[in-house]
Amino acid sequence: MVQVYASSVIDASADNVWTRIRDFNGLPLWHPAIADSRIENSQPADRIGCVRHFHLRDGGAIRERLLALSDYDYSCSYEILESPMGVERYVATLKLTPVTDGGRCFAEWSAEFECAPGREQELSETIGGGVFQGGFDALKRHFGGR
Amino acid sequence: MLQRVVRSTVIDAPIERVWAVLRDFNSHDRWHPAVEASHIEGGERGDQVGCVRSFTLKDGNHIREQLLTLSDRDHRSTYCIVEATVPLQRYVATITLKPVTDGQRTFWHWESTFATPPGREAELRDMVAQGVYETGFDALRRHLRQGEDLRPAGSAPMPTALPLPTRRVVLHRYGGAEELRAEDAQAAAPREGEVRIRQRAIGVNFIDVYLRRGWIPQMLPLAPEQPGVPGMEAAGTVLDAGPGAGGLLPGDRVAYLGPVPGAYCTVRSVPSDWVVRLPPAVDDEVAAALFLKGLTADYLLRDLGRVGPGTRLLVHAAAGGVGLLLCAWAKHLGATVLGTVSSEAKARLAREHGCDQVIVTRDYRFADAVQRACGGADVVVDGLGVAAREENLAALARCGHWISLGQASGPLPPIEPDALLAKSLSFSRPVVFDYVASPAVLAQRAQRVWAALADGAIRVPPIERYSLDAAAQAHERLESRERTGALVLVA
């Protein structure tokens, strides 16, 4: 099992950041690597079990199922159903925690998955550095943060 | 009704450093200002789950708390009050740290639940949230900045460390650069108050040459079985630390400067009092090129020369390692900077670094030019020594200050007090180690050097690199008068 973890501090309240990232169908609105997204079978994007089908800017198509969504914990978990990345049993969680001194929040994005031997490092870097940190960087550009 | 208090912050330090303090259940009387004194009951250790800390607060209250959970994996500690003179009932608190992976920072979450006597909920919530948690955040920040001991007495000692192989450059007898020989040796494990450093870059300074020539034998005594190792400064990474090593941890990037030679090697144990942590923007070679020289420039300009707007400063060897720093920094402080150099190429470099007027001379003649340019120098920083003695006296303005830093042309003979009388001159013969004699002062000066580098007041001088085994060539180069900037041995 490979584990990837990235975290950051965003200069906006957890409420504000959550409003931007809560929509399971909203990745193209805030994440620079995502080109488009739709929810399969016309389900609402906050129904647990719904599937989002999206394309990366480099063309790859990914299907992910929403496993958990908590407006109380500011957290969202999902699994990959299909992707060109070559990962198995991929489960990820994106979570915000308020920082009480200053209107900031602490953002964490973590994933666990299995993959072919020898690809662990490359996939960790793509997912942790590209997808997760890329998302944080976009949020920091939008809200501020260092 | 159960009360809940949550406070969190972001600390500008890596998680290992913050956790090193917080994992010790008995460390709070060293960093939290509300705690007067604390001990662990029954002589147990501060990382023993189930142990009880008994402590008094500055306000006179007394509390006993038990450690319920300690996780080095999750960086989490949970504890409860078992007895207290404050009315917090069923109080259970958890501290959790998480790394902020984009930056060497730490998210610190502190929360608790408790019950109170009726009507006192708000008062006690505020006391816990502000008096304990928020005050604690700020206090730990200060504690970490001061670099106090993060691995206090009573916590787990480091595993017994073994000697490690090192490559070093030794001197069996005083003399020319050819006396420097590289050999393999062992670097002893760090003792109490010491850290062992894997050195990556070693600064080469004129004092190393003086030591090699045998001009300061008391500083580098040689015996048949005890060859000397020159070198006063280096930069690298902490390998391991003895007890009480000033809060330094394995993996810390550091630089040091100390009054005992021995830096020409790959692995060395040194007192943590000599050591400062390096900011990320300063790499090992820059640190080795700038540490002794930058600290020297700092005390010369700030303490000894009191250089400010309008000061007329004369810098000899203005294109050398210290010279370039003095030119740039003094210019930034508003001084009029004059310099002497031995070639046109060096003159260009000195001008680029802020020297207003450069005098090119190979025979130590400069007094007339200085008098014509500015009517005499208020401060002379002299690394030349005997050959420039009379010219320095002539170049100084009334009440001028002659600071003799080095003696590249040969040792200065004794100076008659009456030689200073004519213009009420003063004469100083400083050595950097007295100006960095305490860790706090060293840290403060180092901070000023890195800040000056960051805001452009000084620039990294040109660096010439030599391998450790080529230390003899580095010395020849330093003595050649052809060189500019700083010399560094890379290991």
Domains of chain A: 2-143 (3.30.530.20)
C-alpha triplet B130, B134, B140: angle, nearest 5°: 145
Supply the range of the domain harboring residue B409: 309-429
- Answer positive or negative: Cα dihedral of B436, B438, B443, B448: negative
- The C-alpha atoms of residue B347 and residue B366 are separated, in whole angstroms, by 14
| Domain CATH number, residue B418 | 3.40.50.720
What pLDDT, on the 0 to 100 scale, is given for residue B483? 76
Q: What does the pLDDT average to over A66-85? A: 95
Probe site for chain B from A8, A10, A72, A100 (most B CB atoms < 10 A): A100
* pLDDT surpassing 70 at residue B261: yes
The distance of A12 to chain B (nearest Cα, Å) reads 14
B197 belongs to a structural domain: yes
- Cβ of A7 within 8 Å of Cβ of B137? The answer is no
What pLDDT, on the 0 to 100 scale, is given for residue B275? 94
What pLDDT, on the 0 to 100 scale, is given for residue B7? 97
Instruction: Name residues whose C-beta falls within 8 Å of residue B332's C-beta, 6 or more positions apart in sequence.
Output: B354, B452, B457, B458
Which residues of B, range 107-126, sit inside 8 Å of A by Cβ? Answer: 107, 109
Residues B439 and B420 in one domain: no
Rounded to 10 deg, the angle between the B321-332 and B344-352 helix axes is: 40
Last residue of a domain, one of B399, B429, B459: B429
B151 belongs to a structural domain: no
Instruction: Name residues whose C-beta falls within 8 Å of residue B301's C-beta, 6 or more positions apart in sequence.
Output: B307, B326, B329, B330, B333
B299 belongs to a structural domain: no
| Domain CATH number, residue B449 | 3.90.180.10
CB contacts of A101 in chain B (<8 Å) are 7-9, 134, 137
Residues B234 and B352 in one domain: no
Residues B269 and B346 in one domain: no
Residues B464 and B424 in one domain: no
| Domain CATH number, residue B66 | 3.30.530.20
B188 belongs to a structural domain: yes
B300 belongs to a structural domain: no
Last residue of a domain, one of B145, B178, B197: B145
B302 belongs to a structural domain: no
Residues B70 and B129 in one domain: yes
pLDDT digits (tens, 9 = 90+) for B107-155: 999 999 999 999 999 999 999 999 999 999 999 988 887 654 344 434 4
What pLDDT, on the 0 to 100 scale, is given for residue B157? 44
CA nearest A145 in B: which residue?
A: B102
The answer to ipTM > 0.85 is: yes
Residues B331 and B355 in one domain: yes
- Answer positive or negative: Cα dihedral of B367, B369, B371, B373: negative
Residue B430's closest CA among B298, B254, B240, B278?
Answer: B298
What pLDDT, on the 0 to 100 scale, is given for residue B199? 96
DSSP assignment of B142-184, as one string?
HHHHTT--SS-TTSPPPPPP--EEEEEEEESSS-SGGGEEEEE
Q: What does the pLDDT average to over B77-85? A: 96
What pLDDT, on the 0 to 100 scale, is given for residue B149? 39
Residues B387 and B322 in one domain: yes
- Cβ of B98 within 8 Å of Cβ of A98? The answer is no
B103 belongs to a structural domain: yes
Residues B227 and B321 in one domain: no
pLDDT digits (tens, 9 = 90+) for B176-231: 999 999 999 999 989 888 999 999 999 999 999 999 999 999 999 998 888 999 99
Q: What does the pLDDT average to over A112-123? A: 94
Residues B364 and B480 in one domain: no
Give the rounded percent of residues in chain B with a pLDDT score beyond 90: 73
Residues B273 and B177 in one domain: yes
Total domains present in chain B: 3
* pLDDT surpassing 90 at residue B406: no
Residues B171 and B198 in one domain: yes
Residues B357 and B476 in one domain: no
